[in-house]
């Protein structure tokens, strides 16, 4: 915890001192007392707006030594929001009197570079092991596809294990989380993965299951002797069920004899739409490749702009949820994304605690209060997914990400594109159409993805939000007809004829 406090103090000090450093750079490494006094309100407001943004982006929870590229991107976005909010607040306070317009820009650059350099230096000079080759022997040749790994223990081998899973298992295994046995602080992150400070393995597995993470492979990164007695007993019971595969890293590497490795039956492959003779590779070559790069550029630019413009709304909703529902402010679930790779979909929390103060379960209808209903009705609970779009896990337009249990036939084809904040199936019928029709609409969108179609979906989304859901049965019949005939649709009108076609 002392390391955590020092890291937070370093970030706060850097954010507070960055305006002075910016002023010194602007004035050829010289600072006059009068200029410092003029800059003081801006510095105070910077620290005031920095705290909620800093906490909201999880910068206080990231393990510095194991910071990754996604952590650096999170820093850049958070600093941009902090500087923008501080500039607006100072402008409202005294019209930025005496503060040069170049100060916020230099402040953002200094803060971002300093925070990134601090994390990189701690990881580099902290003797972080970087080569995953020593773990190549840990990869069994007969691992079944689709396994979700839970790692127990945080030490120097843990990041190597994460790299080995990424390098050698590819899309066949994913990391559901990491349990820390030492006091590193609950809610921290290691290489972008959640770290739980817990001694109760059963409770952790239940919590992960609520978030859509069904663990079926546990790797213990510490020796059996270091495990708490209760956790060791729980692991032995889990291993006997043969439902979850339990391994100890030192035994898998051959450093100790293994007597507890249990295997489970392979997962059955997901069924597919048998009546549709569609090759996913042909789909991608035909319609996705040309539009994909341009769409990603648009997504990145628009999401970055919206994060800045909607920062006050974001912070206001976070404060409202904190005051009415408590912590945490966000709710996340693991969803399959592009090419079936899992990502963490984030929403604003809309439900109160599942248990009352006496430990009794609360009815679902009672958990959704006025704030939760308001967020769901206005779709504002989806606002944090703009971050998913910025880092490339989602797109503004695409098939909605579903929980693995809700995937139906043809899921491999709908995963050829990034999942969307809104999608064709949502504007055609939303929750009022059966899963098979939703899947058909999603696959039809994948095969016909284009800028014109995305514009159509955006224009359909507006009345969908204002007037509610309405099923377009003709669009559903057209999608099934097109798919059975090979997936291509008739050319839509262009130019003014296209706009009039949408309007009618």
**pLDDT in tens for each of the 504 residues of the chain?**
555 677 788 888 888 888 888 888 877 776 677 777 888 888 888 888 888 888 878 787 777 777 777 788 889 988 998 999 889 988 888 888 878 888 899 999 999 999 988 888 876 665 444 333 333 333 333 334 567 888 988 887 888 888 777 777 655 677 888 888 876 555 677 777 778 877 778 888 888 888 888 888 899 988 887 788 888 888 888 888 778 888 888 887 776 654 443 333 333 333 344 445 455 444 544 455 567 778 888 999 999 899 888 888 888 898 898 888 888 888 888 888 887 788 889 999 988 877 766 767 777 777 888 888 888 888 899 999 999 999 889 999 999 888 777 666 556 777 888 999 988 888 888 777 888 888 888 888 888 888 888 888 988 888 877 777 778 888 888 888 877 776 555 444 333 333 444 444
Q: Are 253 and 138 in contact (CB under 8 A)?
A: yes
Q: Which of 174, 177, 185 is nearest to 145 (CA)?
A: 174
The per-residue pLDDT for 411 is: 66
Q: Are residues 449 and 397 in the same domain?
A: yes
d(CA 381, CA 8): 29
Q: Are residues 411 and 294 in the same domain?
A: yes
Q: Are residues 419 and 337 in the same domain?
A: yes
CATH value at residue 151? 3.40.50.720
Q: Are residues 202 and 296 in the same domain?
A: no
Q: Specify the number of domains making up the chain.
A: 3
Q: Are residues 416 and 490 in the same domain?
A: yes
Q: Which domain does 197 fall in, by range?
A: 132-252
Instruction: Collapse the DSSP code of 65 into the 3-class scheme (helix H, G, I; strand E, B; otherwise coil) and give the result.
Output: helix
Q: Are residues 148 and 291 in the same domain?
A: no
d(CA 155, CA 170): 23
Question: What pTM did the predictor assign?
Answer: 0.57
- Given 68, 96, 125, which residue is the final one in a domain? 125
The per-residue pLDDT for 385 is: 92
Q: Are residues 107 and 175 in the same domain?
A: no
Q: Are residues 323 and 384 in the same domain?
A: yes
d(CA 368, CA 352): 7
Residue/partner pairs of 74-81 with CB below 8 Å, 24 or more apart: 75/112, 75/115, 75/116, 75/119, 76/112, 76/116, 77/304, 77/307, 77/387, 77/390, 78/53, 78/54, 79/15, 79/108, 79/111, 79/112, 79/115, 80/108, 80/308, 81/53, 81/307, 81/308, 81/311
HSE-up (13 A, CA, CB side) for residue 445: 31
Instruction: Collapse the DSSP code of 275 into the 3-class scheme (helix H, G, I; strand E, B; otherwise coil) and give the result.
Output: coil
Structure tokens at 325: 């529902």
- Block residue for tokens 């958070």: 78
Q: Are residues 205 and 342 in the same domain?
A: no
404 in a structural domain: yes
- Given 125, 143, 166, which residue is the final one in a domain? 125
257 in a structural domain: no
Q: Are residues 186 and 333 in the same domain?
A: no
Q: Are residues 284 and 366 in the same domain?
A: yes
Q: Are residues 334 and 365 in the same domain?
A: yes
210 in a structural domain: yes
d(CA 433, CA 266): 33
461 in a structural domain: yes
Read off φ and ψ for residue 255, nearest 5 degrees: -80, -25
């Amino acid at each position: 915890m002392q390391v955590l406090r020092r890291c937070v103090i370093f970030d706060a000090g850097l954010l507070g001192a960055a305006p002075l450093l910016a002023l010194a750079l602007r004035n050829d490494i010289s600072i006059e007392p009068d200029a410092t006094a003029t800059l003081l309100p801006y510095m105070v407001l910077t620290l005031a707006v920095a705290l909620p943004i800093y906490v909201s982006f999880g910068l206080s929870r990231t393990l510095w030594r194991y910071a990754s590229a996604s952590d650096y991107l999170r820093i850049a976005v958070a600093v941009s929001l902090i500087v923008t909010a501080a500039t607006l607040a100072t402008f409202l306070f005294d019209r930025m009197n005496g503060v040069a317009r170049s100060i916020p820009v230099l402040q953002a650059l200094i803060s971002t570079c300093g925070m990134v350099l601090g994390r990189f230096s701690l990881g580099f000079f902290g003797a972080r092991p970087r080569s995953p080759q020593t773990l190549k022997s840990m990869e069994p040749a007969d691992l079944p596809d689709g396994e979700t790994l839970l790692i127990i223990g945080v030490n120097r081998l843990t990041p190597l294990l994460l790299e080995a899973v990424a390098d050698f298992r590819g899309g066949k295994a994913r990391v559901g989380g990491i349990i820390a046995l030492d006091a590193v602080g609950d809610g921290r992150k290691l290489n972008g993965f959640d770290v739980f400070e817990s001694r109760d393995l059963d409770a952790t597995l239940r919590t992960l299951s609520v978030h859509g993470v069904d663990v079926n492979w546990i790797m213990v990164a510490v020796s059996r002797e270091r495990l708490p007695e209760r956790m060791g007993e729980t692991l032995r019971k889990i291993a006997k069920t043969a439902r979850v595969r339990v391994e100890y890293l030192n035994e898998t590497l051959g450093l100790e004899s293994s007597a507890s490795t249990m295997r489970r039956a392979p997962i059955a492959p997901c069924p597919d739409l048998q009546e549709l003779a569609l090759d996913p590779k042909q789909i991608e070559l035909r319609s996705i490749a040309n539009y994909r790069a341009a769409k990603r550029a648009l997504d990145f630019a628009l999401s970055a702009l919206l994060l800045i413009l909607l920062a006050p709304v974001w912070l206001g909703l976070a404060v409202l949820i904190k005051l009415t529902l408590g912590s945490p402010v966000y709710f996340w679930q693991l969803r399959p994304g592009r090419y079936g790779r899992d990502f963490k979909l984030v929403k604003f929390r809309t439900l109160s605690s599942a248990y009352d103060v006496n430990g009794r379960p609360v009815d679902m209808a009672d958990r959704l209060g006025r704030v939760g209903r308001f967020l769901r009705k206005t779709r504002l609970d989806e606002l944090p997914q703009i971050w998913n779009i910025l880092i490339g896990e989602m797109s503004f337009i695409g098939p909605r990400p579903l929980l693995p249990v809700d995937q139906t036939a043809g899921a491999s084809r709908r995963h050829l594109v990034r999942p969307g904040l809104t999608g064709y199936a949502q504007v055609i019928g939303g929750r009022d159409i059966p899963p098979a029709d939703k899947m058909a609409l999603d696959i039809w969108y994948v095969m016909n993805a284009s800028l014109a179609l995305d514009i159509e979906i955006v224009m359909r989304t507006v009345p969908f939000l204002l007037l509610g859901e309405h099923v377009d049965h003709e669009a559903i019949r057209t999608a099934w007809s097109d798919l059975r005939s090979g997936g291509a649709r008739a050319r839509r009108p262009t130019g003014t004829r296209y706009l009039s076609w949408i309007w009618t």
